[in-house]
Amino acid sequence: MIYFPPDKINSEKQVSNVLVTGGAGYIGSHTVRALVEKGHRVTVIDNLYSGHRWAVHPEARFVQCDIADSARVEEVLSEDQIDSVVHFAGHIVVPESVTDPIKYYQNNVVGSLSLLRSCANQNIHQFVFSSSAAVYGNPAEVPVREETMQCPINPYGTTKLVTEWTLRDFAAAVSEFRYIALRYFNVAGAHSSGELGQATPAATHLIKVACQAALGQRPGLSVFGTDYPTPDGTCIRDYIHVQDLAQAHLDALDYLGRGGESAALNCGYGRGFSVNEVVAYVKQASGVDFPVSLSPRRAGDPAELVADNTQIRSLLAWKPEFDNLELICRSAYEWEKNPLNLQSAEQ
């Protein structure tokens, strides 16, 4: 990993013309809101495959198209004088990637390559990529460091790693191009305003599913695998609040705008909770003892993923504000009751 000497980085924050792909989705919409509130000029491209038009901040320009539509993407990049790109657009359901890998390679890899070529054609040299801890597979060490061997165990993780490799090689070939790849751990929770949250149709995120079970929107919750080599036999994950993750993207843009060099960084809190512990927190937040059934392991699920977040804290000066699983579960539960979310679920 390359580090840029702090004394050579311009300390002034830059206001950018930012393109956000997938900006109508869960994490994208939170990041768009944060960017607008910080004074950036934001354009959103989203094909609305899993995002929602209402989730895009009204002060952001919205363009409905696919990132693989290179002609339209380049028009937008030129029209809005884009200088930075934050790339979220991609499929994210791990079990689906196992059963339909071609869909994931086509969208996540080929689509990202098309977007990167569009950026190259328009001389855009700052890029923040939505990567994943899935690049590590079943890591040999926990907490996971950025230098830990990347050996994904599902097509979703492989598509993220291939895109990281592409960014790395492009940055080596084009000296002006610099990127940050943020390797997300498990994202959860909803915006503190109550106006944004996880509204993706048929989402498989544990905390969302548990909240829906608490509200009777599902008959109950299935725990996939109780024989993992963990203290209670269920998977352990590092859960990060979506607003802290959004802030990491702003910090990444600030860093690149000050001349920072390319890097791939873990984005998590550095401590993990088991599936059983998460279920207990959601039951506490909701006051509902919803049914829980035990099911076999799902394909592609590693036993434990917890971040070593030393590098993102030092390089980007990232300071999370919502590192509290009870708060995360409570915000997610309140969002599930939000009429806007309920209306989205019916569409």
Token pair of 21 as six digits = 């792909």
Q: Evaluate whether 285 touches 333 at the Cβ level (below 8 Å).
A: yes
Distance CA 66, CA 68 (A): 5
State yes or no: is 156 an active-site residue.
yes
Q: Which of 54, 66, 10, 59 is nearest to 35 (CA)?
A: 59
How many CA atoms does the CB half-sphere of 177 hold within 13 Å?
A: 20
* Contact (CB, 8 A) for 268 and 133: yes
Determine if the peptide bond prior to 302 is cis (ω within 30°).
no
Rounded distance between C-alpha atoms, residue 205 and residue 211, angstroms = 10
Catalytic residue (one of 26, 104, 136, 156): 156
Q: From the CA atom positions of the chain, what is the Rg in Å?
A: 19
Task: Look up residue 306 and give its two tokens.
Answer: 């917890």
Strand, helix or coil for residue 67: coil
Q: Which residues contact 172 (CB under 8 A, 6 or more apart)?
A: none
Instruction: Measure the CA–CA gap between 285 and 161, rounded to whole angstroms.
Output: 36
Active site members: 156
